[in-house]
Structure 1
C-alpha cells in the first residue's frame, strides 16, 4: 500500500493522506440585519464540514453553527455593516485532475490540486478587553478564522452620588479579530447588557 506525505521542509508536513486540507469553497458577502449598534447576521451554505474566515475590519463574531443534513447555518453578531467571508470545506468538490490524494482507509479525498487551500500563518492570542495585534508579511490576503469565543462578563457598579441608590451594569462581550492589510488585531464587542438599580435600606 502506498503512503503519501509531502513536506515543505524539516518537520513541515503540508500534505498527508491521513488528514484533510481545508479548501476554499466560496467567497460570501454577508449583510447583517437590525438597526441598532449590535446587528445579527446569518449565512447558510451547503457542504461537508464548512468553516468561515472573516476578511477586513468586520467586527464580526460567530455565535453558533447548526446543521441540517448537508446544510449549515452560521449566525452571529457584528457592530459593522456588510462584510466578506471565505467559506472553507473538506476538499471533496475539486475536479480530480492533475494530482489528488485519497485516504486509503476510507477512500475520501484529502487533497485535490485543482483547489485553493487554507494556510495558517499565525495565532493571535490575548485578552480581548485589553486588545493586541500582530503584523504579518505584506503582500498577501489574510482572513480571521471564525470561532465561537467564550463570553466575557464585566460587572460595573456602585453607589450613585454616595447613596442610598445603587446601580449595577453587567456587560457580556465576545472577542473579535479584525484584519487591516497585514495587521491582525483583537478587541471585543458587547453582545448583551443588564442594568439594575436599587436603594439601600
Structure 2
C-alpha cells in the first residue's frame, strides 16, 4: 500500500489554480501513518478560534515570511499544533491547491509519519488529534453531500461521520483526491451529484 502511494504520488501532477487574485498562502500537512493499514491523522480545531473553529482539519496554517517554502509552512504548523517533529515526516508531494471560503490559498502536502507518535495538541488551537483508516473513505460512506459552486463549476462534496467527528469541506475535498489517487476502484466524482442527492429549493 505505502509503496503504491509513494509511486503514485511521485508521478502525480496536482491541479494548480489559475487565478488572478493575490490570495494569502497557507499549507497543511496530510500525515499518513507507516503501517500495514495506513491511517490519516486529523485534528479537531478548538471551538474558540476565529476561523474554522470546531471543525476537523489537517494541521496547518498561513505561510510566515520566514518560511522558505510552503512545505516548511506545513511542517512548522504541524509541530506547533500537534507536536509533530519535522524530522519524523517524509514529505512525498502536494495535492491540488484550493481556496478556502475565507479567501486563503491552501496547498496540502502528503507526508509519511511513524505509526506511533505521541501527539501533543496545542490547547489554544487544537481540541483533539485523531486518526482514520484511509480504507474508511474508499467506499465513500458519506453521511450527506454539500453542493459548492466554486471556480465556475458545481462541486458535490461529501460529508463523512467518523465516530464523534464530522469531516467535510476542504478537508473532505483533499481526502477524496488522495483516496482517488490511491485506490483505483474509489472513483469518487465530486462534479456530479450522487444518486441520493436531493436538491433543496
What TM-score comes out, normalization by structure 2 length? 0.24
Please state which structure has a larger fraction of its residues in strand.
Answer: 1
What TM-score comes out, normalization by structure 1 length? 0.24
Larger radius of gyration: 1
Please state which structure has a larger fraction of its residues in helix.
Answer: 2
